[in-house]
Amino acid sequence: MQKDIDKCIAGIDIGGTKIALAIATPDGKIISKDRFSTSSENGAKAILARTAIKIRELADEARKDLIGVGIACAGPLDIKSKMTINPPNLPGWENFPVGETVEEQLRVPVSFDNDANAAALGEYMYGAGRGYKNLVYITISTGIGGGVIINNQLLHGTGDGAGEVGHLTVLPDGPVCGCGSRGCLELLCSGTGIARRAKESVLSGRETSMTSLVERVEDITSSTVVDAALAGDPVARQIWNETIRLLGIGIGNILVTVSPEIVILGGGVSLTGERLLAPLREFVYSHVRILPADRIPIVTASLADESGIYGALELARQSLNT
């Protein structure tokens, strides 16, 4: 739009280890971007002040007037009041008014959502979800989160709980999750969960080649499990197969609830690509019988670790257009 030629929007993606930011044209074309570490010792206010200064610099360099900001933030959050509640990956950010602080610093309207919802929106608008009206995005990294888009709209639900797929029960008598429930998908199948199950196997005395792939047992990650499983290690194979089975149960339950047009997987564990996707599709498509599940593609995110920043920009763009 001609009238928007001198304007820009900004997106901020606040994660446990880094803040990514970008400025873009009002229709979402990125002009420039930056990222720096979330040095939590500096506190939320100092980090957001640094972020705001950087956004101002980028907008000035591009000779554009900033008109709106979207923020994707690690949860749990109070989305309506644009505050963090008690994010485990952001120590020192308890009950912090993120939206209000950035609004004061940059003097433009701020829209705010959790990082998984924003990533879903980013993939929907700019990534693997383009052209679909109904999709489910699932991030499998240190935790498991998700976002659900129905009829082109993010679903928030009661208490903003929609899309919290990391807390689907996949093992009713399983170990206790941080949320207070038992056998949650995140606890068992996040990168952290996969690694923890592998370490427990090693510490219980099972013979496995995983120990030869790392210096110390603590260094075992989900990648160690995948590598050892594909090399034929029986213990790693058992852990990886169980991961596929539990993820498959969770995704199968999502399919029969939402019946989306596509399921998009993001996060570090999804970078294993077909080594994850091929057996996962096979499990899901053979277990979900009530609907034509194999017409629902299960794919990896195409924006990789930038789904969140694209989603933050889309939050800004949508709020300015409504």
Q: Provide the binding-site residues for Zn ion, judged by CB under 5 A.
A: 167, 177, 179, 181, 184
Nearer of residues 182 and 275 to Zn ion, judged by Cβ: 182
Using alpha carbons only, give the angle 305, 308, 314 rounded to the nearest 5 degrees.
140
Q: What's the token pair of residue 264?
A: 């998009």
131, with CB counted inside 10 A (0-12, 13-18, 19+), is exposed
Nearer of residues 55 and 165 to Zn ion, judged by Cβ: 165
State the nearest-atom distance from the C-beta of 181 to Zn ion, in Å: 5
State the nearest-atom distance from the C-beta of 143 to Zn ion, in Å: 10
State the nearest-atom distance from the C-beta of 183 to Zn ion, in Å: 8
Q: Measured between alpha carbons, how far is 303 from 310 in angstroms, rounded to an integer?
A: 8
Q: Measured between alpha carbons, how far is 117 from 101 in angstroms, rounded to an integer?
A: 21
Nearer of residues 177 and 189 to Zn ion, judged by Cβ: 177
Nearer of residues 81 and 86 to Zn ion, judged by Cβ: 86
State the nearest-atom distance from the C-beta of 175 to Zn ion, in Å: 10
State the nearest-atom distance from the C-beta of 186 to Zn ion, in Å: 6
Describe the crossing of helices 234-258 and 222-230 by its angle, rounded to 10 degrees.
Answer: 110
Nearer of residues 85 and 179 to Zn ion, judged by Cβ: 179
Nearer of residues 184 and 225 to Zn ion, judged by Cβ: 184
State the nearest-atom distance from the C-beta of 226 to Zn ion, in Å: 24
